[in-house]
């Protein structure tokens, strides 16, 4: 999850539902942005970043 103003709150809520969460600083996500932001492309980018930084 890209860290933003509500990210910590959402991470806690997802963790309560037994989802594994990890906050990523936006400067790690920015180099992977390919086209205009929307939810689908943002999710795809975040998946790429988390799998390459493990």
H-state helical runs in 1-54:
7-16, 26-29, 39-52
Per-residue pLDDT at 27: 73
Q: CB–CB of 11/23 below 8 Å?
A: yes
Residues with Cβ within 8 Å of residue 29, at least 6 apart in sequence: 2, 45, 46, 49
Higher-pLDDT residue of 25 and 31 is 25
pLDDT at 33 over 70: no
Quote the pLDDT of residue 17.
92
pLDDT at 47 over 70: yes
In the chain, pLDDT over 70 holds for what percent of residues?
A: 72
pTM attached to this predicted model? 0.47
Question: Could you give the 3-state DSSP secondary structure of residue 3?
Answer: coil
Domain boundaries, the chain: 7-52
CA 47/CA 49 separation, integer angstroms: 5
Tokens 């594994």 locate to 20
Does the pLDDT value for residue 16 go beyond 90?
yes
């Amino acid at each position: 999850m890209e860290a933003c103003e509500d990210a910590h709150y959402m991470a806690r809520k997802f963790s309560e539902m037994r989802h594994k969460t990890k906050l990523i600083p936006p400067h790690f996500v920015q180099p992977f942005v390919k086209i205009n932001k929307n939810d689908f492309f943002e999710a795809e980018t975040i998946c790429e970043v988390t799998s390459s930084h493990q």
